[in-house]
Amino acid sequence: MKKVFLLLASFALLAITFNACVTVRGQGTYSGSSNDYDRNLTAGKVQKEIHKGMSGAEVTEILGSPNIVTADENGYETWVYDKIATEASYSKSNDALFLFIYGQSNTSSNYTVTQKTLTVVIKLKDNKVDSFAYHSSKF
């Protein structure tokens, strides 16, 4: 009788021991460009480092080359920086409970995609920053 009780107690202990929970998470980021300037172009960088009166060369040193350059008849040049980034995140959870011969397993997963945009418009007059504006969004 003692041996049967010890055997059942051992199985109960094994059942508790094999209660497992595993979580696997992965995250990836895709940006349409591999350019270092594009990855470092943020609204905070524009706020902190771009100011009225700086030269066009200083702007390109900080932000890189603009995506679009236009000029008007009044001598103003407009530089547009346009950045779009997509971030994808995936997580998966597996829960398992094993009691003697009976087993139960639950799986759940979550996949999210976030897109961010940043548009910076800089107006230059005589190769000096006259004004600048930016718009950032996340959805």
CA distances for 43 relative to 38, 53, 67, 92, 98, angstroms: 12, 19, 16, 33, 52
Say which range, 6-10, 22-26, 36-40, 77-81, has the weakest mean pLDDT.
Answer: 22-26
φ and ψ of 116, to 5 deg: -125, 140
CB 46, CB 64: distance < 8 Å: no
Count of other CB atoms within 10 angstroms of residue 58: 15
The pLDDT of residue 99 is above 70 = no
Model pLDDT, residue 97:
60
pLDDT (0 to 100) of residue 63: 94
- C-beta neighbour count of 132 within 10 angstroms: 19
The domain segmentation of the chain, as residue ranges, is 2-138
| Rounded distance between C-alpha atoms, residue 22 and residue 126, angstroms | 62
Lowest mean pLDDT of 1-5, 9-13, 65-69, 112-116, name the range.
Answer: 9-13
Query: For the purposes of burial, counting CB atoms within 10 Å of the CB of 81, is it exposed (0-12), middle (13-18) or buried (19 or more)?
Result: buried
Average pLDDT (123-137) is 96
**pLDDT value for 89:** 85
